[in-house]
Amino acid sequence: MLRIAQQFAAVAFASAAETDSRAVIGPDLWAEFRRAGLAMCPFPRELGGLDLCDPERHVELCAMLRMLGSGDLSIARLFEGHVNAISLVHRYGDHAQLQALAARVATGGLSAVWGANDAKGLHVVDGRVLRGRKILASGAGFVTDPVVTATAGDGEVMCLLHLTMDEAIDLSGWNAQGMRSTATGAIDLSGIVVNTENLLGAAGDFSRQPYFSGGAWRFCAAHVGATERLVDLFREHLLTTRRGNDPYQLERLAHGIASAKTARYWVEDAARRLALEQMDAGQIVGFANITRMVTERCALDVMEIVQRGVGLTSFMRPHPIERISRDLATYLRQPVPDLAMSDGAKAYLGSMLPVWEF
């Protein structure tokens, strides 16, 4: 499967300039995504998938996310959300819910996790009807089966929705510097009726640790893939321009290699740790939070190195370095980075473990 994912990533990379320019992922690319088996691969084998949500296959999933990140970060972002949704249904839902989702994905559906709210939020009213909307919903307009969070009474519940695709969508506010083709926007879910077939798990399960924070390794893996691609493009530039013997450029390249490899090792370790259920939840979350910090720092360092080494060309469209740097800088802006960093340090402080064992 990794070879097939790598082939698809190459196709996505070749199409990325046009995809970014049009701010939409074309139907041909989505068709190739499905032909490659990427939509179904997170599901269990008995439902037509490849079990990639199985914790024992996290490292393989990590490699796949890296590959997609090296091709097109917008596609990697949407795939990561799809995987996250299936993981939530697998963990907190029942077999019938997972089977129903697999059947819809097999016929062209796509899932996602939409958790962000506006000031009013999304609520379950009268015990069965949604009122409100979701914002920053990636894939709004073509995601068919999202997992959404909603307030019900005093708690937060998860609902697996099967959209009719006539919901009111507003993408006008998505004018971010990068990640233009993720179709991120607001979607009004008011009036959708939810019942036991839609509800996943119990109130509070969405934020349950270590899975909520520990799963950050997935988007970090996509970041690493883009970081690795930037290093490869820098090498290509040095070879093409015959500047590979310049000692300053060699120093930049060496630091870029080290940063990309460092980020990869941290992310792979975070993926392994989440799969170890016997490990302390606080330690898993703490390590994942520091992994976020390491991945961000390494990506920012590589962007600076490559942009300084290539020069003005790296800021000119449609050069891939320009696009990837813009997408990566945008995707790196994950919630509460300072809190994640300090919580990681607190986890180590309270563990009394030597740093090599943390």
Look over the chain and give the mean of its residue pLDDT values, rounded to a whole number.
Answer: 95
As beta bridge partners, residue 186 has 170
Are 148 and 161 contacting, i.e. CB atoms less than 8 angstroms apart?
A: yes
- Per-residue pLDDT band at 133 (split at 50, 70, 90): very high
Give the model's pLDDT for residue 1. Answer: 83
- Which whole-number Å values give the CA distances from 354 to 2, 230, 345, 348, in the listed order? 36, 34, 13, 9
Strands 155-160 and 169-170, bridge-based pairing: unpaired
pLDDT for residue 102 is more than 90: yes
229-243 pLDDT per residue, tens: 999 999 999 999 999
- Whether the per-residue pLDDT at 277 is higher than 80: the answer is no
Per-residue pLDDT reduced to its tens digit, 299-328? 999 999 999 999 999 999 999 999 999 999
Beta pairing class for 155-160 and 199-200: antiparallel
Residue with tokens 């996505």: 12
Range with the poorest average pLDDT among 47-51, 198-202, 350-354: 350-354
Cα(190)–Cα(93) distance, integer angstroms? 23
Query: In order of start, what are the domains of the chain with their CATH numbers?
Result: 2-207 (2.40.110.10), 211-351 (1.20.140.10)
Write down the pLDDT at residue 275: 87
Q: For the chain, give the percent of residues with pLDDT over 90.
A: 91
More confident residue, 126 or 257: 257
At 251, the pLDDT band (50, 70, 90 cuts) reads very high
Q: What is the pTM of this model?
A: 0.95
Q: What is the pLDDT confidence band of residue 108, given thresholds at 50, 70 and 90?
A: very high
Q: Is the pLDDT confidence value at 80 over 80?
A: yes
- What is the predicted pLDDT for the residue at 73? 98
Which residue in 42, 60, 39 sits closest to 52, CA to CA? 42
pLDDT band at 17 (very low <50, low <70, confident <90, very high): very high
Task: Look at 240 and 2; give whichever has higher pLDDT.
Answer: 240
At residue 32, the pLDDT reads: 95
